[in-house]
Amino acid sequence: MGLNLRITVHIMGLLLLCNGGFMLLAALVSGIYQDGATIDIAMAAIVTLMVGVMAMFYTRGHRKEIKRKEGYIIVTFGWIVMSLSGVLPYIFSGAIPSITDAFFETISGYTTTGASILNDIEVLPKGILFWRSLTHWIGGMGIIVLAIAILPLLGIGGMQLFAAEAPGPGGDKLHPRITDTAKRLWFIYVGYTVAETILLKLAGMSFFDAANHALATLSTGGFSTKNASVAYWNNQPLIQYIIIVFMFLAGTNFVISYFAFTKKIQRVIKDEEFRVYSFFVLGFTLVAFLIVLLQADVPVSDYHPQVWGKTESSFRHALFQVLAIITTTGFVTADFTNWTPFLTVFFFGLMFLGGSAGSTSGGIKVMRHLLIIKNGILEFKRTLHTNAIIPVRYNNKTVTEHIVYNIIAFFVLYMLLFIIGALVLAFLGLDFESAVGGAASSLGNVGPALGDLNPVVNFSELPAFGKWWCGFLMLLGRLELFTVLILFTPFFWKRT
C-alpha cells in the first residue's frame, strides 16, 4: 500500500487553520495598539485560513490511518508549511519585504532558534513583533507534542527512551492516552507563559514586553522586542532573574514539571537527566562567573554598592548566558564573545549541549550526552571482561542496544552535519569563526553565534543562499535530524 498523501494534505490544512487563527490574534494586538498593520496581518490570516480550508475540503473522506512514512512527511512538511505561511504577515505589512529574509525570520521563529535578520526591531509595528514572538511559542508547543506523541513512535534519535519515561508502556507515563499527555503538558506550557508574563509585568516591564518575552522564554526561542535583547534591562536585575528561572524550567523535561506539580518529588529528584542538567548549569555557571568576575568587564547594576554590584552582576550575567546557551534560548545580556577568548570557546562548546529531552530546547540534549558518556565508560569494562554482558542503565532501567546505537548514530550525524554546515558557510565567504559559529548556532537552534554573527550583530549580512542554508540547518536540528534526512533516501519512497 502506498503513501496516504490525502491525510497528509488534510493535516497540513489543519495546521494552516491553526496558523491563521494565531495570525488573527496578532491582528487583534495590532488593532489594540493601532500600529497601522492590522489590515495587513488580517489579510495574511484570511489567505492562510482559505488555503487551509481548501486543503481540508478537497481531502475529506481520507483514509484515517497514519503510518510511519506519513509521520515523517507530516512532521517535516508541517514545519515547512507553517514557515511558508508564516511569512505572509511580514510580506503583506512590508516589515520584511524580501522573501528570503522573511522566510529566515519565520523559520528561525518556528524552530525556536531566535537568529534574526532585523537590524532595528523597535521600529516594527507591535502586531508584527507579537506575531514574531508567537512563531516561537507555536513552535515550542509543537515540539512538546512532537517529543511526546510522534518522535517516539517513529523511533527517532533515542526518543524511544523518552517514550518509556513519559507516555509509553513504561512506569512514568502521565496518562495512558498520548493526546491526554500532550494536553497536560500544554497546560503546563501555557501556565508557565502566563506566570512569567505576570511576574515580568510586576517587575517593571510593560505588559507588551512581558508577554513577548514570556512567549520567547518558554519556547526557548529568544526573539526580543528590544534591539539590545534582555541587556535593555541590565539595571533591573529582578527582570533578568525571572527570565533565568523560566529559562531553566523551559530547558527541563516538561514531564518533570508535571511530576513536581503532582507532588511526585521523588521522581524529580531521582531523574538522572534532571540531576545532570542541573549540575551542568551550576558547574558551568561557576566557571563562567569566576572568569567574568576576575577578567571580564560587565555592567554593574545601579541597585547595589560597587563591590557587591560587581560580584552580583558577574554572577547574573554568567548564569544568564550559560542558561541562554544551554537551553538554546539565545537571549543576551552582554556580548559574551567580548569577555575573554576562553569564554568565547567555552560558550561555543555549550552550543552543542542542549537542554533536556521533552523540553522546548534544541541541541543534542543532555540525555544523549549522558548515555554516550555512560556507554563510553562501560566500553573500558567490556574490554577487560569480554564475555560479560554490561548494559547501559538510565534511571535504573536497562537501555537496549538499539537505542544506544541510535544515539551514537545521531551524535555522529550531528557532528558531520555541523562540519558540512560550516564548510558551506565558509565557501560563501564567511571567516572561520563566523562559519563554525553560524553552523553550530543554526543546527543547535541557539540563536546568537560567533564572529560576524555574534550576539550584538545578526544574520542580516549573510548571502541569500547562506540564509536558506541556515534555515535548513535549523529545521534539521529542530526535528532531530533523521526526520528530515530520511526523506532524501531513495528507499523511503519505494512502495512496500
Q: Which of 295, 315, 127 is nearest to 212 (CA)?
A: 127
pLDDT winner (highest mean) among 61-65, 154-158, 191-195:
191-195
Phi, psi angle pair for 398, to nearest 5°: -70, 130
Contact 224, 213 (CB under 8 A): yes
Distance of CA 360 to the CA centre of its chain: 5
Q: Is the pLDDT of residue 179 over 50?
A: yes
Q: Is the pLDDT of residue 334 over 80?
A: yes
Structure confidence at residue 149 as a pLDDT band (50, 70, 90): low
The predicted model gives 212-239 an average pLDDT of 92
Structure confidence at residue 147 as a pLDDT band (50, 70, 90): low
pLDDT winner (highest mean) among 52-61, 179-188, 470-479:
470-479
What percent of the chain shows pLDDT beyond 90? 51
C-alpha cell at 432: 572561520
Phi, psi angle pair for 399, to nearest 5°: -95, 130
pLDDT tens digits, residue range 413-428? 999 999 999 999 999 9
Name, in order, each residue with C-beta under 8 angstroms of 279's C-beta and a sequence gap of 6 or more: none
Q: What is the b/e burial string over 215-234, where b = at least 16 CB atoms within 10 angstroms of the residue's CB?
A: bbbbbbbbbbbeeebbbbbb
The predicted model gives 84-97 an average pLDDT of 94
Q: Is the pLDDT of residue 101 over 90?
A: yes
What is the Rg, in whole angstroms, of the alpha carbon atoms belonging to the chain? 22
The predicted model gives 180-184 an average pLDDT of 74
* Number of other residues whose CB lies within 10 A of the CB of residue 329: 34
| C-alpha torsion sign, points 396, 144, 149, 5 | negative
Structure confidence at residue 462 as a pLDDT band (50, 70, 90): very high
The predicted model gives 365-378 an average pLDDT of 90
pLDDT tens digits, residue range 21-72? 999 999 999 999 999 899 999 999 999 999 999 988 888 766 666 677 777 8
* Number of other residues whose CB lies within 10 A of the CB of residue 386: 6
Cα atoms found within 13 Å of the Cα of residue 325, Cβ hemisphere only: 34
The predicted model gives 140-146 an average pLDDT of 71
Average pLDDT score over the chain: 86
Q: What is the b/e burial string over 428-441, where b = at least 16 CB atoms within 10 angstroms of the residue's CB?
A: eebeebbbbbbbbb
The predicted model gives 328-348 an average pLDDT of 90
Q: Is the pLDDT of residue 167 over 80?
A: no
pLDDT at 173: 46
Structure confidence at residue 94 as a pLDDT band (50, 70, 90): very high
pLDDT: which is higher, 178 or 119: 119
Contact 223, 104 (CB under 8 A): no
Q: Is the pLDDT of residue 475 over 80?
A: yes
CA distance 326 to 315: 16
Phi, psi angle pair for 296, to nearest 5°: -100, 165
Q: Which of 331, 318, 329, 326 is nearest to 354 (CA)?
A: 326
Give residue for cell 503510518.
67
Q: Is the pLDDT of residue 164 over 70?
A: no
Q: Which of 132, 53, 120 is nearest to 87 (CA)?
A: 132
pLDDT: which is higher, 387 or 174: 387
